[in-house]
Amino acid sequence: MREILICPSMMCADFSNLKNEVEQLDKAGADIFHIDIMDGSFVPNFGMGLQDFELVRKITNKLVDVHLMINNPSEYIEKFIDLGADIIYIHPESDNQITRTLETIKNKGKKSGIAINPGTSIGNIEELLFLVNYVMVMTVNPGFAGQKYLNFVDRKIEKLLSIKSNYDFEIMVDGAVSPEKIKELSKKGVKGFVLGTSALFGKRKSYLELIEKYREYNIYD
């Protein structure tokens, strides 16, 4: 039996009351706070800023990850490590020296991750799997909340699950993850779920009620 990881996507939180949002999610049992950083170039949007990251990091002792949807992420790795990021995700398309960047993250004592866009094949990143702790599969096109889950990406998740035993990484999914998808994919072996408006934010039930419900899905072989 393994427990799933619940990772609130803080870009979907109420920014006017971010401190309270973090406190409530922390108390509700969130495992990892997920912070999206965008530059308007690698993806056509902007996410959270350094001040938002610092606020989340200050309030919680839980793990905080940063998803760098930016060009040349190697230039910002040291900054986010200094600010207290526990896990750093980068996209293989965004860095010309991705192996060096992943090694830098690990050498600094942090967890490394790669994020795979819907159009990125497993074959393109397989040589990197020895260097990462997490593989985050994007199940929407990155950059915007409120999209529909891309079901064809499930084949990519199945492929990762089939080769996972050869490596030492956990599989995460990010993008329009519904309660049904949490249940389906957790039973197959997916470890972590980045949750936004499809399963966590803007619901009638409290964060505690929702997270406890999703914990019921965490029993799988």
Active-site annotation holds for 65 = no
Cα separation, 211 vs 90, whole angstroms: 27
DSSP the chain: ----EEEEBGGGS-GGGHHHHHHHHHHHT--EEEEEEE-SSSSSS----HHHHHHHHHH--SEEEEEEESSSGGGTHHHHHHHT-SEEEE-GGG-TTHHHHHHHHHHTT-EEEEEE-TT--GGGTGGGGGG-SEEEEESS-TT-SSPPP-GGGHHHHHHHHHHGGGS--EEEEESS--HHHHHHHHHHT--EEEE-TTTTTT-SS-HHHHHHHHHTT----
Would you tell me how many other CB atoms lie within 10 Å of the CB of residue 163?
Answer: 11
Instruction: Note if 174 is an active site residue.
Output: yes
User: Which residue is catalytic, options 31, 36, 52, 168?
Assistant: 36
Q: How far is CA 123 from CA 139, 173, 210, in A?
A: 17, 18, 36
State how far the Cα of 81 lies from the Cα of 79, in Å rounded to an integer. Answer: 5
Spot the catalytic one: 52, 65, 95, 174: 174
> Which residue numbers are catalytic?
36, 174
